[in-house]
């Protein structure tokens, strides 16, 4: 099987077959980790005496406020197709209860700002991001990414100065998407913050996936980077190009050590967006 056909075969299993399969994630409710600290995703969130929306309000919490999860209750609430547990949390010297949908699932600082991330559940198959400064909301966006688990959130800050005119920030947000061919696969979403502090999503890529015997792995090559050659897998050197992110994908057969094919996509920065060029066979 050619590398191009192998890659298409893998992508077909990842993105198409789950539509027709009995999804193992249908009853999944993502959870916060007891003992961990999270940020409040909503604004003026009610900290209540019990795990009930009719319970007495003890305190109002602003967006970005840090809370520590004390316990996960057995109470589940569904709002706008988002189903989450109630949690007992600690906020400074006060404890109380908050519905999990009002708490960010992941967050990280960004030079005076903060990014808040929320998993909108397997029904919506979306993630929502907010950009805040202190307790002020500056920008927010939602993207459809597939059914997401809460197990593998992470991020990476990329040097925006490699691009001209450069965005305010460039970062990659990684998350685990459920899949039928394996438990899940990691996606990274490339996101910029524009000079007017808007969150802009560009493209996502998958570092690696496998449906034996067909497998694939990918790398991103930025303008000032070089991906070295690998004689074992027949990978040639890939040098960075100005204002361009190159995505190089290696498809291979784990039962045939001589089977190595490469496929490349390019994303050209035009000052506001990364525009995808025609995919092309490479090597």
Determine how many CB atoms are found less than 10 A away from the CB of residue 131. Answer: 22
- Mean pLDDT in residue range 18-39: 80
For residues 256 and 114, give the distance between their C-alpha atoms in angstroms, rounded to a whole number: 47
Owner of token pair 């809460």: 150
pLDDT at 181: 64
Which class is 37-102 in CATH?
A: mainly beta
Task: Say what the pTM is.
Answer: 0.88
Domain boundaries, the chain: 3-25+149-281, 37-102
Instruction: Dump pLDDT digits (tens) for 115-171.
Output: 999 999 999 999 999 999 999 999 999 999 999 999 899 999 999 999 999 999 999
Residue 5 phi/psi, 5° resolution? -70, -35
Q: Are 82 and 30 in contact (CB under 8 A)?
A: no
Given pLDDT bands bounded at 50, 70 and 90, which one contains residue 9? very low
pLDDT above 90 covers a percentage of the chain that reads 78
Q: How far is CA 76 from CA 80, 110, 138, 165, 180, in A?
A: 13, 33, 30, 47, 26
Determine how many CB atoms are found less than 10 A away from the CB of residue 242. Answer: 11
pLDDT at 15: 44
Instruction: Dump pLDDT digits (tens) for 51-110.
Output: 999 999 999 999 999 999 999 999 999 999 999 999 999 999 999 999 999 999 999 999
pLDDT exceeds cutoff 50 at 221: yes
pLDDT at 254: 87
pLDDT at 258: 86
CA angle 204, 210, 216 (to 5 degrees): 60
- Mean pLDDT in residue range 16-37: 75
pLDDT at 270: 95
pLDDT at 18: 41
Instruction: Dump pLDDT digits (tens) for 167-177.
Output: 999 999 999 99
For residues 197 and 209, give the distance between their C-alpha atoms in angstroms, rounded to a whole number: 34
């Amino acid at each position: 099987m050619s590398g191009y056909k192998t890659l298409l075969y893998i992508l077909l299993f990842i993105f198409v077959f789950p539509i027709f399969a009995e999804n193992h994630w249908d009853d999944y409710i993502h959870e916060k980790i007891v003992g961990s600290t999270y940020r409040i995703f909503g604004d003026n969130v009610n900290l209540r005496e019990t795990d009930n929306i009719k319970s007495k309000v003890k305190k109002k919490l602003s967006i970005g406020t840090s809370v520590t999860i004390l316990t996960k209750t057995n109470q589940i609430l569904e709002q706008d197709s988002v189903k989450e547990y109630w949690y007992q949390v600690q906020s400074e010297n006060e404890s109380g209860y908050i519905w999990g949908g009002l708490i960010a699932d992941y967050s990280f600082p960004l030079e005076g700002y903060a990014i808040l991330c929320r998993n909108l559940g397997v029904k919506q198959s979306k993630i929502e991001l907010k950009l805040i400064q202190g307790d002020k909301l500056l920008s927010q966006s939602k993207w459809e990414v597939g059914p997401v688990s809460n197990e593998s959130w992470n991020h990476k800050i990329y040097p925006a100065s490699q691009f001209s005119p450069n965005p305010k920030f460039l970062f990659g947000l990684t998350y685990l998407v459920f899949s039928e061919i394996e438990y899940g696969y990691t996606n990274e979403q490339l996101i910029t913050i524009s000079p007017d502090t808007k969150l802009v999503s560009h493209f996502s890529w998958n570092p690696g996936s496998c449906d034996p015997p067909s497998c694939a792995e990918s790398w991103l090559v930025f303008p000032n980077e070089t991906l070295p050659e690998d004689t074992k897998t027949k990978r040639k050197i890939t040098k960075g190009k100005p204002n361009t992110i190159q995505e190089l994908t290696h498809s291979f057969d784990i039962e045939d050590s001589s089977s190595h094919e490469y496929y490349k996509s390019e994303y050209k920065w035009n000052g506001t967006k990364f525009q995808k060029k025609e995919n092309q066979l490479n090597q």
